[in-house]
Amino acid sequence: MKLRDRNVVVTGASTGIGRATALLLARKGAKVWAAARDDKRLDDLAAEQANIIPVHADLTVESDRAALVAACSHVDVLVNNAGIGWHGLVEDMSMDKVRELFELNVFALIELTQGVLPGMLQRRRGHIVNIGSVAGMVASPAETVYSATKFAVMGLTDGLRRELRGRGVQVTLIAPGPIKTEFLARQTTGGPAPEPGGLDYGLSAETVARAVVRALRRRLPGYRTISVPRVLGVGGRLGAAPGISWGTTLATRGRVRKALAEREGA
């Protein structure tokens, strides 16, 4: 797909992967509706690059989801990036928090997808990019419910891709590994943090943004599921899983011990 003059919606655009993706797509000539809850950061983003339209939206609220779709006359590309995490053991997690994770990470993604699909199908042109996680391939200890939401995103993406085959609409899953954003700081404290936040290792958010652009521009089987870094899965998800599983197994005991120690010290 040519990106110039395309209408793109990017969720979770005020920071991290969403911000980097919105900036890169706008620089490629797309008109980007950047959605997030943080008005100041959205305004700063729009001031940094032309072709970005800030849209205040709390995507855990159904009316905000509908308003976001309505704000764009038609959507050529939807990048479902908004998401939250939670660090801790399942036994310590409240059901309110479980519902919050699924509301944003899964239900909002589905509803936004439903909102843009009719127009895409009518025009027989469009692309939906879902930002998943390597944690949606192999569950990460002490982030089990977050992993469950990303497993859901992976399953939805795979099934939707098959439903839309031959109907003009493309579907891609991007599965990042460790990325330098404030995601971990947010999942620990529940609030924003200075960039790059609570993660001091991993690739840059721009690496994921470039993977999104590659997926949009290339209609090749290997660009339907992209792990970041790519080395984790040269052939996509099936190639990625063994390496991720090996690494996660090594980390399991340490993460659980840390979570138990944090709970006892609280």
Catalytic residue among 146, 147, 196, 209: 146
- The pTM assigned to this predicted structure is 0.83
Give the C-alpha distances (Å, rounded to integers) separating 222 from 21, 110, 238. 20, 24, 11
In terms of DSSP bridges, do strands 77-80 and 52-56 run parallel, antiparallel, or are they unpaired?
unpaired
Give the integer Cα–Cα distance in Å for 48 and 51: 10
Q: What is the pLDDT, as a whole number, of residue 73?
A: 82
Would you write out the chain's pLDDT as a tens digit for each of its 266 residues?
A: 899 999 999 999 999 999 999 999 999 999 999 999 999 999 999 999 999 999 999 999 999 999 999 999 899 999 999 999 988 999 999 999 999 999 999 999 999 999 999 999 999 999 999 999 998 998 888 899 999 999 999 999 999 999 999 999 999 999 998 887 766 555 555 555 555 445 556 788 999 999 999 999 986 555 577 778 764 443 444 434 444 443 444 455 555 566 666 666 66
Spatial neighbors of 8 by CB under 8 A, at least 6 apart, are 25, 30, 31, 32, 33, 75, 76, 77, 78, 79
Verify whether residue 201 is a known catalytic residue. no
CB contact at 8 A, 38 and 58 = no
Domains of the chain by start residue, with CATH = 7-265 (3.40.50.720)
Give the integer Cα–Cα distance in Å for 78 and 257: 39
